[in-house]
A and B are shown apart, each in its own frame.
Chain A
Amino acid sequence: MNDTRQRIALLSKALDLLTDRPIKVMEVCGTHTVSIFRQGLRSLLPPSLKLVSGPGCPVCVTDQGEIDAAVSLAGINGVTVATYGDMLRVPGSGSSLMNERARGRDVRIVTSADQALEIARNEKTRLIVFVAVGFETTAPSTASVILDAHRDRISNFTVLDLHKAVPPALEALASDADIDLDALLLPGHVSVILGLSPYGFLPERYGIACAVAGFEAEEIMLGLVEVARQIKEGRPRVASLYGQAVRAEGNPFARSLVDRVFEPGDSSWRGLGEIPLSGYALREEYSSMDALKRLDISIRRTPPPDGCSCGEVLRGVMTPRECPLFGNLCNPSHPVGPCMVSGEGSCAAHFRFSAGGDDPWKR
């Protein structure tokens, strides 16, 4: 414990020495956001280092129209919707999967794609729609299960495929002058699958300093020290500081499964809008498992709720507290936007940890 305390003190001092001008760092991943709050790291940052949260919570970036499609699918007779627990409370334009379940629709929580397929194997009279969300970390598991269903000819298993790809979204943020990022703390578990090379354009084309970091207090602080050093030296690159889990080449086998099942397609992100080739579209060979085609439902664009600033929050141009709805009108019991729903949403994290409390790193 004291060792950790000493090391954190060293890192905090190094960060101070390295930050000699205002810098803006985005932590892309929701797990980092929560970890930074939980471990009280904000109090250790130099005043000139501004840390903003990014679009790295797959639940938060699921577009309103996508939730509406899931809600419509749940309303069809004979359909069972299976999805990850966090998705239930995400509001669509009119309802949520949670509401639909309360109204008697068959909506079930699963913890893996495998469980959703298991439901299909066991309940042949139901048509299962697995609402598949997640980034590169999660897409391989969906791909693997689709290949299983295809091989075993499970005809009552379908997927509402909402998977999204992180690098195109980072490109959208990097090229947005309003956001003006100096550095990115890259998502650790997305990088486990992707490796490092898909991020190369960030330092090369946009001069953005990057580090892939783990999730412990020390690892996050190290990531910040690394990007601060790159900025000070004027040599942005992609540093790998999560060597236990992230190989330079990522997990090529998992990626090969994803490539067999999906091809790049456009996707709509809550708050960021449509980003070209930022989604994973099912390949033609597996189109019989596409829930939208099978049940003739389409994803429509709908305006966000009045006053909701999730778009600005997800792009790091507004802090959750600056949203006029934060706290009174939007809170974890009555979420208006998705950033307040998921445990990893930045609004939920700000709300949960807003009481402040003791600074854990003070002597």
Chain B
Amino acid sequence: MCLAIPHRILRLFDDKRALASAGPVETEIRVDLVPGLEIGDVVLVHAGFAIERLLEEHGQEIEALWEEVRRMAGTGHE
């Protein structure tokens, strides 16, 4: 029920509606919950509405944690 699936915006019809694709499937979605979307943006779509623009980076905390995991489990420590 809380599933949200990444879609790429293909066409903006007006300030509320867009055509978006997830893989080969194209659907009309609502875009009014995320102001300022542009064609080509990748958004998370939940229940027919884009809820956020997806960024490419994973964020700092993930990078730092991975470093620590590698240090802990990768080398030494056994």
Contacts and interface: CB of A to CB of B under 8 A. Distances in A.
Interface in A143-159: 144
A76 interface: no
B34 interface: yes
A245 interface: yes
Which of B30, B35, B56, B62 has the most A CB atoms < 10 Å from its CB? B62
A222 B47 contact: no
Nearest to A115: B48
A270 interface: no
A30 B4 CA distance: 12
B1 A193 contact: no
Contacts of A245: 4, 44, 52, 54-55
Interface residues of B, number: 34
A184 B23 CA distance: 32
Nearest to B32: A144
Contacts of B32: 144
A168 B3 CA distance: 21
A172 interface: no
Given A144-B33, A192-B52, A30 B47 contact: no
A165 interface: no
B1 A344 contact: yes
B15 to A, nearest CB: 12
A109 interface: no
Contacts of A14: 68-69, 72-73
A242 B47 CA distance: 20
B61 interface: yes
A94 B57 CA distance: 50
Contact of B2 (A18, A58, A114, A222): A58
Interface of A: 10-11, 13-14, 17-18, 29-31, 56-59, 84, 86, 111-115, 133-135, 137-138, 140-141, 144, 187, 189-190, 192-193, 222, 225-226, 229, 239-247, 251, 253-254, 257, 342, 344
Interface of B: 1-4, 30, 32-35, 44, 46-49, 51-52, 54-62, 65-66, 68-70, 72-74, 77
Ordered nearest first, which 8 A-B pairs have the shortest CB separation? A243-B59, A112-B48, A13-B73, A14-B73, A141-B49, A254-B33, A14-B69, A10-B73
